[in-house]
Amino acid sequence: METISLRVFYLWNRGATEGHDPGFQQNIQWDVPLLEGYDHEFVDNSSNDPGTHHFWGIYNPNLIEQVQNWKPDTVLLLAYNYASIYLFLYQWRHRTPVIFRGDSHRLGISSNWRNRLKRLLISTVFHQFDICLYVGSANKEYFLEHGLLPRQLFFCPHSVDNKRFFEASDRAIEDALVWRKSLGIPTGDSVILYAGKFEQKKRPTDLLEAFLQLNWPEASLLLVGAGLLEETLKTQANGHPKVFFAPFQNQSFMPRIYAAGDLFVLPSGGGYETWGLAVNEAMCMSRPIIVSDQVGCAADLVEPNENGLIFPAGDVDALAQCLQEALCDPHRLKQWGNLSRQRIHSYSYEQASAGLLKALSSISSHF
- Give the percent of the chain with pLDDT over 90: 84
Alpha helices in 108-194 (DSSP H): 113-126, 137-145, 162-183
pLDDT tens for 107-156 read: 987 778 788 888 888 999 999 999 999 999 999 999 999 999 999 999 99
Quickly list DSSP for 31-84.
SS-SSSSSEEEE-----SS-STTSGGGS--TTHHHHHHHH--S-EEES--SSHH
pLDDT tens for 303-325 read: 999 999 999 999 999 999 999 99
The reply to whether 91 and 221 lie within a common domain is no
What per-residue confidence (pLDDT) applies to 283?
99
The reply to whether 184 and 254 lie within a common domain is yes
Cα separation of 358 and 354, whole Å? 6
The reply to whether 96 and 227 lie within a common domain is no
What per-residue confidence (pLDDT) applies to 15?
77
For residue 1, being part of any structural domain is answered with no
What per-residue confidence (pLDDT) applies to 108?
82
What per-residue confidence (pLDDT) applies to 17?
78
For residue 212, being part of any structural domain is answered with yes
The reply to whether 318 and 182 lie within a common domain is yes
Which pLDDT band, with edges at 50, 70 and 90, does 181 fall under?
A: very high
For residue 153, being part of any structural domain is answered with yes
Element (H, E) at 292: strand 289-292
The reply to whether 65 and 172 lie within a common domain is no
What total number of domains does the chain contain?
2
Which pLDDT band, with edges at 50, 70 and 90, does 367 fall under?
A: low
The reply to whether 217 and 260 lie within a common domain is yes
Q: Specify the amino acid at residue 132.
A: C
CATH number of the domain enclosing 213: 3.40.50.2000
What per-residue confidence (pLDDT) applies to 364?
79
How confident is the model over 277-296, as a mean pLDDT? Answer: 98
Question: Which one has a higher pLDDT value, 272 or 233?
Answer: 233
The reply to whether 237 and 336 lie within a common domain is yes
Number of H helices, E strands in the chain: 13, 14
1-5, 33-37, 56-60, 296-300: least confidently modelled range: 1-5
For residue 333, being part of any structural domain is answered with yes
For residue 70, being part of any structural domain is answered with yes
Element (H, E) at 197: strand 190-197
The reply to whether 129 and 154 lie within a common domain is yes
What average pLDDT does the structure give for the chain? 94
What residues pair up with 245 in beta bridges, in sequence order?
Answer: 223
CA nearest 282: which of 360, 341, 351?
A: 341
Which pLDDT band, with edges at 50, 70 and 90, does 270 fall under?
A: confident
Cα separation of 28 and 13, whole Å? 13
Cα separation of 10 and 14, whole Å? 9
Which pLDDT band, with edges at 50, 70 and 90, does 227 fall under?
A: very high
79 close to 46: Cβ distance less than 8 angstroms: no
19-33, 36-50, 176-190, 337-351: least confidently modelled range: 19-33
Q: What is residue 243's DSSP assignment?
A: E
For residue 2, being part of any structural domain is answered with no
Distance of CA 50 to the CA centre of its chain: 22
CATH number of the domain enclosing 56: 3.40.50
Q: Is residue 331 predicted with pLDDT exceeding 60?
A: yes
How far is the CA of 70 from the CAs of 40, 74, 128, 139, 188, in angstroms?
11, 11, 21, 31, 58
Q: Is residue 1 predicted with pLDDT exceeding 60?
A: no
The reply to whether 28 and 63 lie within a common domain is yes
For residue 27, being part of any structural domain is answered with yes
The reply to whether 318 and 353 lie within a common domain is no
Cα separation of 251 and 187, whole Å? 26
302 close to 347: Cβ distance less than 8 angstroms: no
What per-residue confidence (pLDDT) applies to 77?
98
The reply to whether 198 and 298 lie within a common domain is yes
Largest CA distance in the chain: 64
The reply to whether 206 and 282 lie within a common domain is yes
What is the model's pTM?
A: 0.94
CA nearest 257: which of 234, 291, 219, 224?
A: 224
Q: Which domain holds residue 121?
A: 7-159+348-366
For residue 200, being part of any structural domain is answered with yes
Q: Is residue 69 predicted with pLDDT exceeding 70?
A: yes
Q: Is residue 43 predicted with pLDDT exceeding 80?
A: yes
